[in-house]
């Protein structure tokens, strides 16, 4: 299991604590320090079953600076923007060993991490 993690994000810290409390082993990917490649983003988007614009934090100041609300829904362009600006990526993303992934922001998603 791998967790795309931002230590300054409270939701990331909650998800990490849930995994730690449940004794679940995981690898931490600090995606701001080690941004994902376009191929990694494509893979995770496939696991999540969503489009790149659905994984972008549109309230992030950088999204406003880039005027993403007016960027056409061109998959390759959005992925390129995310690779260049990883702060835009919604978090935390948990990539499971079974080939599935989830965005662990809600209480329900965190409970799934605990096995509940």
- Cα separations (Å) of 74 from 43, 52, 70, 80, 88? 17, 9, 11, 10, 16
Q: Max CA-CA distance within the chain? A: 43
The question of whether 9 is a catalytic residue gets the answer yes
**Considering 1, 2, 6, 9, which one is annotated as catalytic?**
9
CA distance 116 to 113: 7
Active site residues: 9
């Amino acid at each position: 299991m791998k967790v795309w993690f931002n230590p300054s994000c409270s939701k990331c810290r909650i998800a990490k604590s849930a995994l730690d409390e449940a004794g679940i082993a995981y690898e931490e990917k600090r995606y701001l320090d080690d941004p994902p490649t376009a191929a990694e983003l494509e893979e995770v988007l496939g696991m999540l079953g969503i489009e790149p614009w659905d994984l972008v934090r549109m309230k992030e100041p950088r999204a406003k600076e880039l005027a993403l609300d007016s960027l056409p829904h061109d998959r390759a362009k959005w992925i390129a923007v995310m690779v260049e600006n990883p702060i835009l990526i919604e978090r935390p993303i948990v990539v499971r060993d079974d080939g599935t992934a989830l965005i662990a922001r809600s209480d329900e998603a965190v409970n799934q991490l605990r096995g509940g």
